[in-house]
Amino acid sequence: MESNGIFVLVEPAYVMPVWFEKGILGLQKSAAKKRLPLHLISPEELSDCRGKTKSAIVVSSRSDWTLGVLSRLRDCGIKPILIGTVPEEFGETISAVIFNQNAFMETIVCYLYQCGRQKPALVGINSNSSNDNTKYHTFLSVTESLKMEAGKEDVFLIDDDIIGAIELFCENSQKYDCAICPNDYIAVCLLEAARRHKIRVPESLYVVGMGNMLVSMCSTPALTTFQHNYFEVGVQAVNLWDLLEHNPNLDAINILLHGELVCRGSTAYQNPPPYESFHSSTAREHPELSIGKVNRTIRGLENCLLQCDQLDFGIIREIILGSSLEDTAEALFISQGTLRYRLKKMYQAAGVSSRQELERILKRYVTNHQAFDELLNAPAP
């Protein structure tokens, strides 16, 4: 085994999941582009990697297998980068490239709500999958917030085979007007079972999957699904490995990827306007809970300050003092063109579009002028 490169551990599977394959392809292409060797290894080989790498990539879906690998990595002093499992489940600071499962499930439930559906079921949840557990909890939370008729009894769990969960759902399908499946494979199986049980999709039941696999386009009716870019997961995992490898002060980073809903025949091609997040409506009813916009503003301000050098801090000081462009340029001995260029960069970093917006934020949150003056007068790094 070579002494450098990216070490990757892949959970064994009788049939390699498609997302595993696409993610690994993304790893391989991105590693090749960076001229980095890629080593697929088993957990038993980890002891040979001690001292050869700061981090390793773990491709998995099962919590129990992942937990064992994390223990071995910890023993070897190697930081994990997870693909496929949710890092929070393991109770420690772990890097990961993940899809925003919370946002995906919220989008699907809100979409069905907008389509007039009120009685959803969640079909095919694997309790040993960290991603499925995330979907499960988000499903319950969002349906409760929207006052839809759903609870724990409307979640159909997988035991040994998905057929049992699907058949049980079909036997009770008259209770529901829509079904959400954690992946397209289960959703396509559900569509096939619905035909056998003479359940009319979409007339009586809407069905939504996740993954946008080829089978979802080939089903009858074509499946409405949430589209994931698994190849991009692999690409971003290599970028994350590179970042951790060359920045020893970084402990862990999570990269969150988005997706989009693809509306097809299993929901009658309905495409209603997006439902405004129930969090937002709650915030309107209870202004004291409206922290989303404030949170974004604070993060934007922090991002702006982090990118400032001493000249930028001087400009900010003049903004706080209410100085004009002409007075600011004169005070700092720079041209107005340089000043405008610097201000434009600050606006982008802070997520604002004008000097007035930036001034308002600065005056609201940069109130400890003594501390700011220390930043202004600190020696350049």
Provide the pLDDT for residue 214. Answer: 73
pLDDT band at 238 (very low <50, low <70, confident <90, very high): very high
Residue 374 to residues 73, 182, 359, 370, Cα–Cα distance (Å): 42, 52, 20, 6
145 and 211 assigned to the same domain = yes
Which range is least confidently modeled, 12-16, 65-69, 209-213, 232-236?
12-16
345 and 369 assigned to the same domain = yes
Q: Judge whether 159 lies within some domain.
A: yes
Average pLDDT over residues 47-59: 90
* CATH number of the domain residue 128 falls in: 3.40.50.2300
319 and 240 assigned to the same domain = no
d(CA 361, CA 297): 8
d(CA 55, CA 6): 8
Cα 204 off chain centre by: 32
Specify the number of domains making up the chain.
3
318 and 369 assigned to the same domain = yes
Whether 266 shows a pLDDT value over 90: the answer reads yes
d(CA 15, CA 51): 33
Residue 326's contacts (CB-CB under 8 Å, 6 or more residues apart) are 336
C-alpha neighbours within 13 Å on the C-beta side of residue 346: 25
d(CA 5, CA 35): 9
First to last CA, the chain: 40
Provide the pLDDT for residue 260. Answer: 87
Give the range of the structural domain holding residue 338, as residue numbers without chain letter.
Answer: 294-375
135 and 71 assigned to the same domain = no
Do 67 and 61 touch, CB atoms closer than 8 A?
no
Q: Which amino acid is at 207?
A: V
247 and 153 assigned to the same domain = no
Provide the pLDDT for residue 122. Answer: 98
Dump pLDDT digits (tens) for 304-332: 888 888 999 999 989 989 999 999 999 99
Q: Judge whether 67 lies within some domain.
A: yes
Q: Judge whether 38 lies within some domain.
A: yes
Average pLDDT over residues 135-149: 93
212 and 308 assigned to the same domain = no
Tell me what percent of the residues of the chain surpass a pLDDT of 90.
50
Average pLDDT over residues 96-113: 89
Do 209 and 184 touch, CB atoms closer than 8 A?
yes
171 and 81 assigned to the same domain = no
Q: Judge whether 40 lies within some domain.
A: yes
Which range is least confidently modeled, 46-55, 62-71, 157-166?
157-166
**What phi, psi does 96 have (nearest 5°)?**
-165, 155
Residue 248 sits at the vertex; the CA angle it makes with 89 and 257, to the nearest 5 degrees, is: 45
153 and 200 assigned to the same domain = yes
Q: Judge whether 251 lies within some domain.
A: yes
Provide the pLDDT for residue 277. Answer: 54
213 and 234 assigned to the same domain = no
Do 318 and 327 touch, CB atoms closer than 8 A?
yes
Report the predicted TM-score, pTM, of the whole model to 2 decimal places: 0.59
Provide the pLDDT for residue 381. Answer: 54
d(CA 141, CA 222): 28
Q: Judge whether 272 lies within some domain.
A: no
Dump pLDDT digits (tens) for 281-309: 333 333 332 323 444 666 678 778 888 88
Which range is least confidently modeled, 27-31, 338-342, 357-361?
357-361
In terms of Cα–Cα distance, which of 113, 40, 55, 49 is closest to 241? 55
214 and 252 assigned to the same domain = no
* CATH number of the domain residue 309 falls in: 1.10.10
Q: Judge whether 176 lies within some domain.
A: yes
Q: Judge whether 381 lies within some domain.
A: no
Provide the pLDDT for residue 44. Answer: 92
363 and 306 assigned to the same domain = yes
Residue 134 to residues 3, 102, 162, Cα–Cα distance (Å): 37, 7, 19
